[in-house]
Amino acid sequence: MQTELDHRELDIRQLGKSFGAFTALKNIDLSVNKGEFVCLLGPSGCGKTTLLRMIAGLERCEQGQILQAGRDITRASPAQRDYGIVFQSYALFPNLNIRDNIAYGLKGRQEDRQRRVDELLELIGLPGLDRKYPAQISGGQQQRVALARALATSPSLLLLDEPLSALDAQVREHLRFEIKSLQQRLNVTTIMVTHDQEEALTMADRIVVMNHGVIEQIGTPEQIYHQPASRFVANFVGHCNWLSATASGTRSVTLGQADLLTAPEQNLRAGEPCELYIRPEDIELLPSWDPESHTALGKLLHRELIGSIYRLRVAVAQWGGVELQIVATHREMANLRIDDGQLIPVRIPPGRLRSFGSGARV
């Protein structure tokens, strides 16, 4: 027990918060290990920013407890906690140059502070910009300066509030990688708020998916994507096809005129209606007709070029007229040579269909 607590940076227990009649957070339990990169992911209004601000001491805690490295900080003021923070707006002080911005929280002798700032400028790859003012550098550079300022005092916890959302797509992708590698080099525990699933999937060690003030799921990016714990998570992270079927056994369903095998342990009850989902990339398009129970003929309704892939909409009469979203690579499309309105064999591999049970979760 003791050893487990030793590598805990943050322990959040039964945290709750409401603004008037609106419940912003309910029963939040979350532990973050030292050196871990955790993403709080969810749509706007899900409470992720409120949770971050409570960890930072910027919002008052009403219920529950927050412990940082074993110390109860539930009611501590921001200055009594140990963290650095980067906001969406960066909040760089406009009248101070880059050097003074980074040095803002540093104490001690002049030479020590100078050295530390130089070190940080080197770290973020912006030496030579130290005499410029925030308004004179680019958004990506401002973002890195804000990061350096937050890291200057070597806090044991780094909080990032949508740090990339104000940037252009290209800069964003580049900085994603930079922040992640910087975090790994410094081994600083990091909690980042984002509404961008791609950001969360690429950067996080663990993702916390939130909705309506509660945690829907906590897991590694792979777990979140491949084993979503709820319909909300499945929909929010990645795309899903939803199929209304009737269970015919514990792991088989009837969809239209076809009998399909689902993934094991879906807790289906024969005769009851159920809802199943499958990711677009799990559905196969076949170049030639191959009669078997998991194959049917679909009609291509529409296709979109998304860049590296195509996204297709296909209606399958045999499966009760369901419309499926399917993705295909350029190579696949070249092999298939199909046009809108044409028929194409479609296959749902056995074991790829999943459900969240036929009960209340549907």
Question: Rule CB under 8 A: which of 217-256 touch another protein?
Answer: none
Number of residues that bind another protein (CB under 8 A): 39
Least spacing, CB of residue 80 vs another protein, in Å: 5
6 binds another protein (CB under 8 A): no
Tell me the residue length of the chain: 362
Out of 41, 85, 346, 348, point to the residue binding another protein (CB under 8 A): 85
User: Which residues, in sequence order, are CB contacts of 137 under 8 Å at separation 6+?
Assistant: 98, 129, 145
Least spacing, CB of residue 118 vs another protein, in Å: 18
Question: Rule CB under 8 A: which of 135-154 touch another protein?
Answer: 135-136, 149-150, 152-153
81 binds another protein (CB under 8 A): yes
52 binds another protein (CB under 8 A): no
What is the CA angle 37-124-159, rounded to 5? 30
Question: Rule CB under 8 A: which of 115-134 touch another protein?
Answer: 133-134
Q: Considering beta carbons, is residue 30 or 201 the nearer one to another protein?
A: 30
Strands (E), 82-184: 84-86, 157-161
Inter-CA distances, 180 with 41, 190, 236, 316, Å: 16, 10, 23, 43
* Distance between CA atoms of residues 311 and 308, nearest Å: 10
The dihedral of CA 103, 105, 110, 112: what is its sign?
A: negative
* Distance between CA atoms of residues 279 and 277, nearest Å: 7
Residue 210, burial from CB neighbour count under 10 angstroms (0-12, 13-18, 19+): buried
**Buried/exposed 2-27: b ≥16 CB within 10 Å, e otherwise:** eeeeeebbbbbeebbbeeeeeebbbe
77 binds another protein (CB under 8 A): yes
Q: Which two tokens stand for residue 139?
A: 């958004």
96 binds another protein (CB under 8 A): yes
Stretch that binds another protein, among 52-60, 206-214, 308-316, 317-325 (CB under 8 A): 52-60
362 binds another protein (CB under 8 A): no
Nearest to 69, CA basis, from 186, 189, 152, 183: 189
7 binds another protein (CB under 8 A): no
63 binds another protein (CB under 8 A): no
Q: Considering beta carbons, is residue 72 or 340 the nearer one to another protein?
A: 72
Out of 7, 27, 78, 304, point to the residue binding another protein (CB under 8 A): 78
Beta pairing class for 71-72 and 84-86:
unpaired
Out of 13, 87, 166, 299, point to the residue binding another protein (CB under 8 A): 87
* Distance between CA atoms of residues 116 and 110, nearest Å: 10
Q: Considering beta carbons, is residue 80 or 335 the nearer one to another protein?
A: 80
112 binds another protein (CB under 8 A): no
What is the CA angle 26-30-32, rounded to 5? 155
297 binds another protein (CB under 8 A): no
359 binds another protein (CB under 8 A): no
State whether residue 334 is helix, strand or coil: helix
201 binds another protein (CB under 8 A): no
Question: Rule CB under 8 A: which of 147-186 touch another protein?
Answer: 149-150, 152-153, 155, 159
Out of 42, 47, 57, 213, point to the residue binding another protein (CB under 8 A): 57
Where does this chain bind another protein (CB under 8 A)? 56-58, 67, 70-81, 83-85, 87, 89, 91, 93-97, 104-105, 133-136, 149-150, 152-153, 155, 159
